[in-house]
């Protein structure tokens, strides 16, 4: 283990952060102590740093196993942008490109090497023989478990890693895994006495909203309004089927929204293009199937919309987690209907693990129907308790009010009994509303006593009330009998007046303003900041296009927002900005500070006068060379040396003896005495026959002056 370098110094140097997030430092030390670990940190919580930073401290290569080509590419680009040697190997590369990467890996020139499980296992003997490995990181580790929400058979062969590298620590990472999945990951990978690190699953920057039973046309209108209210911001819309992703993208385009779609039925080329267009902000919205997923590391996704109910809480949590990875306020909206439940139940009935899958679907349904803080329900699913309401979900913002729903429930339950419990929910609603459509007349349901008893309530409202009754346990849906409704024992007690029930007023549920952007930002001075933010986005985009990388690889939106807020105009000011590591400050800092200064002047914002000597001192303290300071400040190196002499003279710089030799000092002293000059450099320079540079003479004179004080 290499413990000579402080991990926190590397965190600042390469990643631009002064302090670790919860658990990161503990995990890093655990890895450096050569021990196995299972890490559960939510998306955007800083999982990658837990293996990327140890990779810099360990002597050899870190192998990173990732299931998705796009994710590998994203992470490698981000590492390179931070000045870290990284590469990936996958099927998208030519034989020549792969050979070059392997050659570098054999020479131990790559700190992090990303591979798919198939790629690694296909050449594991060769890798083990030729690549020196210090750490193995397995990303998306839930893929190894049949209990996980995204099981991938190829992951199950990764147990072989321990056979080839028995002494190398393995760190398995995932954003979502319940207890049974965690246990299975440890078993499948053969981890040796691993420590399990479980971070908080709470993502307080994400707002949570659920919408039930919204008709297709109204839903599209809401989504369009929602997107238009978030000008120039990126988002993902998850859909249940491939066809619906294409239909949704087409609908959005009709409203002038730049949108694309992404699903498993597309060619690799089309999928790659859709993904690249989204990552590089050429399209603002991508519509994707839930089953296939996106596999991206885009940090500035500002919203995630579910067009349908997901099949479980793990998938839902991971999908909404793609929003707000940079920590900025972001929005999530889930739309669902009874039709989604019916479709998902039928999918489950045609698959394995029916009992578990039905239970998982029940839990996401309970979340969608909850009358209490949604975040409490979401976190409780992952074994975490939220003691106070989150105030960032639709239920907290618009608390539900109850009413005595006994009579209303009795009307529905009575109608169910009088149909001999042989109808589905939609037919039941038609009976309650007194519809004369063909199916009702042919079934003779227009003759029962409760026909039309609820005609004063809309079809949509009846659906919502029946869903509440379903969750209260008054009725159940017989999924194995063509989805007909049946009255439960508890429902019969309510029907016959033995029990009363409270229901939620629908006006509280219905409240949703799609055009209102949920944000914590205030309006005032922020208008100026917002304008600068947009300006800096263009600067960032220029760099991104030049380097052919996504804009967020240059700087995240969070870093850009901090730049717009703090408005730094000197390079040294950038060291206080989160996400600004040494490599990025040197590479992009001069341009951004110059552009900010010019923008401030053109917008008549007063720019504070800068102590030019102090700016040089700050850069020296941050280990900038004279050449780097001169280049970044657009000054001559001689000027920087004069700054150092001045700083030394006024006591701000302690030792300048490294800038000249003892011989230089002696000769300058003799020349000064011979010419009688202690300030003017020209006479001394001439006396020394121009053999000692001006800046050395200046520094020697400053040193001599201080000795004589």
Does one domain contain both 531 and 462? Answer: no
Identify whether 33 is part of a domain.
Answer: yes
Find the length of the chain: 709
CB atoms within 10 A of CB 677: 17
Range of lowest pLDDT (171-175, 363-367, 608-612):
608-612
- 108 and 240 within one domain: no
Which of 85-99, 214-228, 348-362 ranks highest by mean pLDDT? 214-228
How far is the C-alpha of 190 from the C-alpha of 531, rounded, in Å? 53
Instruction: Look at residue 156 and tell me if it is in a domain.
Output: yes
Same domain, 383 and 245: yes
Whether the CB-CB separation of 505 and 511 falls below 8 Å is answered with: no
Identify whether the C-beta of residue 226 lies closer than 8 Å to the C-beta of residue 333. yes
Structure tokens at 168: 């190398």
What pLDDT score does 520 carry? 44
pLDDT in tens, 418-464: 999 999 888 999 999 999 998 899 889 999 999 999 999 998 889 88
Distances (CA, A) of 30 to 200, 505, 543: 19, 52, 37
Query: Which of 117, 118, 116, 113 is CA-nearest to residue 131?
Result: 113
Mean pLDDT of the chain: 88
Looking at the structure, tell me whether residues 539 and 467 fall in a common domain: no
Dihedral sign (CA 599, 601, 602, 605): positive
Residue 286 sits in the same domain as residue 419? no
Give the integer Cα–Cα distance in Å for 60 and 522.
Answer: 48
Pairing of the two strands 285-289 and 234-239: parallel
Cα angle 68, 71, 74; round to 5: 150
Q: Which residue has the tokens 């105030």?
A: 391
Looking at 175-179, 622-626, 676-680, which range is the least confident one? 175-179
Q: Do residues 128 and 42 lie in contact, with contact meaning Cβ atoms separated by under 8 Å?
A: no
What's the chain's Rg over C-alpha atoms? 32
Give the mean pLDDT of 82-106: 90
Which of these, 109, 80, 83, lies nearest to 13 by C-alpha position? Answer: 83
Which of 601, 619, 639 lies at the terminal end of a domain, its last residue?
Answer: 601
Position 482 scores a pLDDT of: 78
pLDDT at 418: 93
In a domain, 367, yes or no: yes
Share of the chain above pLDDT 90, in %: 49
Q: Which residue in 467, 465, 475 sits closest to 337, CA to CA? A: 467
Parallel, antiparallel or unpaired: strands 61-65 and 133-138: parallel
- The enclosing H or E element of 552 equals helix 551-554
SS3 11: helix
Query: Which residue range(s) make up the domain with 499?
Result: 402-510
Predicted pLDDT at 516: 61
Q: Say if 519 falls within a structural domain.
A: no
**What pLDDT, on the 0 to 100 scale, is given for residue 470?**
83
Same domain, 340 and 473: no
Residue with token string 């299972």: 38
Residues 437 and 360 in one domain: no
- Angle, helices 425-433 vs 406-418, to 10°: value is 110
Contact between residue 287 and residue 261 where contact means Cβ atoms under 8 Å apart? yes
| Shared domain check, 645 and 551 | no
- Give the rounded distance of the alpha carbon of 85 from its chain centre: 23
413 and 452 assigned to the same domain:
yes
pLDDT at residue 430, rounded to an integer: 94
Same domain, 281 and 348: yes
- Is position 431 within any domain? yes
pLDDT confidence bin for 402, thresholds 50/70/90: confident
CATH of the domain at 564: 1.10.150.80
pLDDT class of 559 with cuts at 50, 70, 90: very high
Residue the block writes with tokens 């023989």: 129
pLDDT category of residue 523 using cuts at 50, 70 and 90: very low
Instruction: Identify the bridge partners of residue 261 per DSSP, sorted by sequence position.
Output: 287
Q: In what helix (H) or strand (E) does residue 262 lie, and over which residues does it extend? A: strand 259-262
Shared-domain flag, residues 440 and 392: no
pLDDT at 623 over 90: no
Asked if residue 237 lies in contact with residue 332, where contact means CB atoms within 8 angstroms, the answer is no
The Cα–Cα gap between 664 and 671 comes to: 11
* Residue 174 to residue 188: CA distance in whole angstroms: 15
699 neighbors 659 (Cβ within 8 angstroms): yes
Place of tokens 């659906």: 463
Task: Identify whether the C-beta of residue 68 lies closer than 8 Å to the C-beta of residue 297.
Answer: no
Range in 67-76, 210-219, 221-230, 631-640 with the lowest mean pLDDT: 67-76
CB-side neighbour CA atoms (13 Å) of 438: 0
d(CA 225, CA 230): 9
User: Pick the residue with more confidence: 127 or 352?
Assistant: 127
Task: Tell whether 701 is covered by a domain.
Answer: yes
CA angle 611, 616, 622 (to 5 degrees): 130
pLDDT of residue 371: 83
Q: How confident is the model at residue 509 (pLDDT cuts 50, 70, 90)?
A: low
Whole-number pLDDT of residue 463: 86
- Residue 621 domain-assigned (yes or no): no
* Strand ranges, E, within 275-349: 285-289, 301-306, 330-336
Reduced to 3 states, what is the DSSP secondary structure of residue 56? helix
Q: Is the pLDDT of residue 295 over 80?
A: no
278 Cβ partners below 8 Å, 6+ apart?
234, 260, 262, 286, 296, 298
Q: What pLDDT shows up at residue 513?
A: 67
Q: Which of 169, 198, 227 is at the close of a domain?
A: 198
- CATH number, domain of 481, equals 1.10.10.10
- Cβ 249 vs Cβ 433: under 8 Å: no
Confidence of residue 206 (pLDDT cuts 50, 70, 90): very high
Distance between CA 116 and CA 132 in Å, rounded?
A: 18
Query: How many domains, the chain?
Result: 5
> In this structure, what token pair is assigned to residue 147?
């209990």
Q: Which helix (H) or strand (E) holds 30?
A: helix 24-32
How much of the chain exceeds pLDDT 70, in percent? 95
Nearest partner of 482 among 308, 346, 337, judged by Cα: 346
Query: How is 478-505 classified by DSSP, letter by letter?
Result: ETTTTTEEEE-HHHHHHHTTS---EEE-
Residue holding tokens 């990161």?
24
Alpha carbon distance 158, 155 (integer Å): 6
For residues 463 and 456, what is the distance between their CA atoms, to the nearest angstrom?
Answer: 14
Q: Strand 475-478 relative to strand 484-487: parallel, antiparallel, unpaired? A: antiparallel
Distance of alpha carbon 393 from alpha carbon 381, whole angstroms: 17
Question: Any idea what DSSP says for residue 625?
Answer: -
Mean per-residue pLDDT, 127-148:
88
DSSP 321: T
Q: Which helix (H) or strand (E) holds 355?
A: helix 354-369
Question: What secondary structure does DSSP assign to 519-548, as a single string?
Answer: ----SSTHHHHHHHHHHHHHHHHHHHHHHT
- What CATH number is associated with residue 13? 3.40.50.300
Model pLDDT, residue 596: 94
Q: Output the CA angle 20-26-29, nearest 5 degrees.
A: 105
Of 397, 424, 459, the position where a domain reaches its end is 397
Q: Is the pLDDT of residue 271 over 80?
A: yes
Query: pLDDT, tens digit, for every residue of 25-43?
Result: 999 999 999 999 999 998 7
What are the helix (H) ranges across 116-240?
A: 117-122, 124-130, 161-164, 179-189, 216-228
Residue 128 has pLDDT above 70, yes or no: yes
**Residue 518 domain flag:** no
Cα separation of 9 and 19, whole Å? 9
> Partners of 478 in the beta sheet?
484
CB 85 within 8 A of CB 110: yes
Model-level pTM greater than 0.75? Answer: yes
Contact 137, 51 (CB under 8 A): yes
pLDDT value at residue 471: 74
Q: Domain check: are 421 and 385 in the same one?
A: no
The CA distances from residue 608 to 225, 568, 597, 601, 618, in Å, are 42, 10, 10, 11, 17
pLDDT value at 80 more than 80: yes
Across 337-456, the runs of DSSP E, i.e. the strands, are 402-404
């Amino acid at each position: 283990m290499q413990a000579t370098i402080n991990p926190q110094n590397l965190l600042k140097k390469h990643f631009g952060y002064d302090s670790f997030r919860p658990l990161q430092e503990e995990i890093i030390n655990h890895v450096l102590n050569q021990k196995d670990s299972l890490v559960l940190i939510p998306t955007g919580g800083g999982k990658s740093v837990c293996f990327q930073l140890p990779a810099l401290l360990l002597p050899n290569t870190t192998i990173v196993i990732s299931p998705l080509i796009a994710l590998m590419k994203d992470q490698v680009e981000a590492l390179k942008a931070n000045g870290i040697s990284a590469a990936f190997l996958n099927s998208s590369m030519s034989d020549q490109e792969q050979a070059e990467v392997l050659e570098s890996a054999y020479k131990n020139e790559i700190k992090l090497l990303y591979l798919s499980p198939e790629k690694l296992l296909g050449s594991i003997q060769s890798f083990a023989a030729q690549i020196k490995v210090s750490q193995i990181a397995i990303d998306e580790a839930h893929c190894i478990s049949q209990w996980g929400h995204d099981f991938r058979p190829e992951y199950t062969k990764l147990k072989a890693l321990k056979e080839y590298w028995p002494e190398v620590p393995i760190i398995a990472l995932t954003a979502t895994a319940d207890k049974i999945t965690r246990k299975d990951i440890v078993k499948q990978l053969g981890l040796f006495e691993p420590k399990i690190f479980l971070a908080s699953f709470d993502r307080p920057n994400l707002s949570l909203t659920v919408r039930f039973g919204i008709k297709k046309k109204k839903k599209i209108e809401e989504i369009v309004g929602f997107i238009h209210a978030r000008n120039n911001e990126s988002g993902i819309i998850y859909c249940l089927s491939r066809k619906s992703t294409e239909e949704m993208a087409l609908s959005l385009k009709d409203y002038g929204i730049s949108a694309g779609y992404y699903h498993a039925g597309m060619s690799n080329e089309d999928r790659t293009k859709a993904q690249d267009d989204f990552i590089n902000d050429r399209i603002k919205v991508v519509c994707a199937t839930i089953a296939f997923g996106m596999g991206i590391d885009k940090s500035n996704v500002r919203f995630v919309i579910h067009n349908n109910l997901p099949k479980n809480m793990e998938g839902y949590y991971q999908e909404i987690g793609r929003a707000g990875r940079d920590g900025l306020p972001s929005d999530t909206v889930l739309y669902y209907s009874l039709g989604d439940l019916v479709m998902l139940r039928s999918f489950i009935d045609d698959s394995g693990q029916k009992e578990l899958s039905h239970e998982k679907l029940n839990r996401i349904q309970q979340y969608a129907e909850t009358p209490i803080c949604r975040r409490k329900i979401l976190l409780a699913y992952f074994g975490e308790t939220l003691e106070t309401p989150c105030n960032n979900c639709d239920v907290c913002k618009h608390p539900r009010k109850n009413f005595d729903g006994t009579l209303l429930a009795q009307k529905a339950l009575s109608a169910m009994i009088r149909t001999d419990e042989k109808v589905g929910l939609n037919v039941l609603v038609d009976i309650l509303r007194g519809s004369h459509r063909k199916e009702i007349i042919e079934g003779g349901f227009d003759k029962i006593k409760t026909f039309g008893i609820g005609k004063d309530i809309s079809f949509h409202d009846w659906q919502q009330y029946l869903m509440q009754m379903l969750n209260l346990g008054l009725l159940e849906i017989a999924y194995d009998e063509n989805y007909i409704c049946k009255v439960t024992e508890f429902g019969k007690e309510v029907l016959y007046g033995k029990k009363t029930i409270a229901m939620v007023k629908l006006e509280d549920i219905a409240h949703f303003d799609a055009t209102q952007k949920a944000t914590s930002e205030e309006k005032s001075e922020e208008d100026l900041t917002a304008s600068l933010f947009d300006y800096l986005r263009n600067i960032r985009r220029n760099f991104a296009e030049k380097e052919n990388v996504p804009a967020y690889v240059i700087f995240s939106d969070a870093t850009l927002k901090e730049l717009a807020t703090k408005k730094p105009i000197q390079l040294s000011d950038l060291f206080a900005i989160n996400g600004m590591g040494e490599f990025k400050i040197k590479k992009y800092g001069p341009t951004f500070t110059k552009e900010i200064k010019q923008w401030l002047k053109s917008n008549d914002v007063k720019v504070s006068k800068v102590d030019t000597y102090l700016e040089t001192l700050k850069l020296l303290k941050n280990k900038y060379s004279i050449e780097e300071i001169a280049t970044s400040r657009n000054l001559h190196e001689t000027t920087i040396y004069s700054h150092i002499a001045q700083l030394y003279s006024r006591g701000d710089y302690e030792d300048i003896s490294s800038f000249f030799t003892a011989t230089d000092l002696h000769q300058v002293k003799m020349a000064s005495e011979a010419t009688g000059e202690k300030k003017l450099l020209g006479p001394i320079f001439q006396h020394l026959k121009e053999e000692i540079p001006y800046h050395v003479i200046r520094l020697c004179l400053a040193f001599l002056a201080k000795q004589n004080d």
